[in-house]
Amino acid sequence: MSTVNTVTEQLTAAGQAIEHDSFAIIDAEAGRHAYSAEQWPIVRRMIHANADFEFNGLTDFHPGAVRAGVAAMLRGGTPVVADVEMICSGLSRPRLAHFGMSTHQFISDADVIAQAQAQNTTRAVQAMRKAHRLGLLQGAVVGIGNAPTALIELVRLIMEDGVRPALVVGMPVGFVSAAESKDLMAQIADVPWIVIRGRKGGSTLVVAALHALLALAEAQQRAEGA
């Protein structure tokens, strides 16, 4: 059995060569780093997504994050709950389908907008609450790349309502509460997380991190099936 990923790789030899060459350049330019062998492929793919080497250092991991993320994907059928549609659109459908995963986001739902207006909160807060009401957060992979208030609300749900996602990829970008939201998430011990410290972040980086985890999951799947 082949040990090369076939689902989470580029679809053409030319595309694979470009991506692998890019990873080799990143490895060479990054040099020595503090990340483990399981963490580095995630950071490297994030750097690859926007050519910013500051993520080598800004990216922080709960000790069990990679293991928990890979296990959630291998379990099959795990939902991905996102704060915005951009994350859902950016994730590879064939890669998700390989693990039976589906994506969910509620930021533009009419009831979410109405609740946000009625309660003077953000749509992102109400979207996380809707995901909780629907039972989607428990055991889910949650990706937040745009709205700090979504991450703050998720932390509240974890602390007050006992919500337990399998993994939180918390990378909201911005100037109001972005850094603070990620610091709050990083204080949670019993839910695994990956965060970017400070103001930087974005949906593209969440997608990159999840694609890296999907690749790690496929590699483990193929190794166990060999």
d(CA 158, CA 11): 39
Asked if residue 149 lies in contact with residue 173, where contact means CB atoms within 8 angstroms, the answer is no
Active site (annotated) includes residue 48: yes
pLDDT of residue 67: 97
pLDDT in tens, 45-57: 999 999 999 999 9
pLDDT in tens, 59-104: 999 999 999 999 999 999 999 999 999 999 999 999 999 999 999 9
Is residue 212 predicted with pLDDT exceeding 80?
A: yes
Lowest average pLDDT, out of 2-16, 105-119, 157-171, goes to 2-16
Q: Which of 48, 62, 98, 211 is catalytic?
A: 48
pLDDT of residue 86: 97
Instruction: Identify the residue with better confidence: 28 or 17.
Output: 28
pLDDT in tens, 72-81: 999 999 999 9
Q: Domain 13-225: which CATH class?
A: alpha beta
pLDDT of residue 113: 98
pLDDT in tens, 124-133: 999 999 999 9
DSSP assigned state of 115:
H
pLDDT of residue 14: 84
d(CA 189, CA 64): 10
pLDDT of residue 12: 82
Supply the mean pLDDT for the chain.
95
Query: Between vectors from CA 12 to CA 8 and to CA 13, what angle results, nearest 5°?
Result: 105
Q: Alpha helix locations (H) across 59-194? A: 65-75, 85-90, 93-98, 110-119, 123-133, 148-161, 178-185
Reduce the DSSP state of residue 64 to 3 states and report it: coil
Take residue 61 and report the two structure tokens written for it: 């991991």
Is residue 1 predicted with pLDDT exceeding 60?
A: no
């309660």: which residue's tokens? Answer: 119
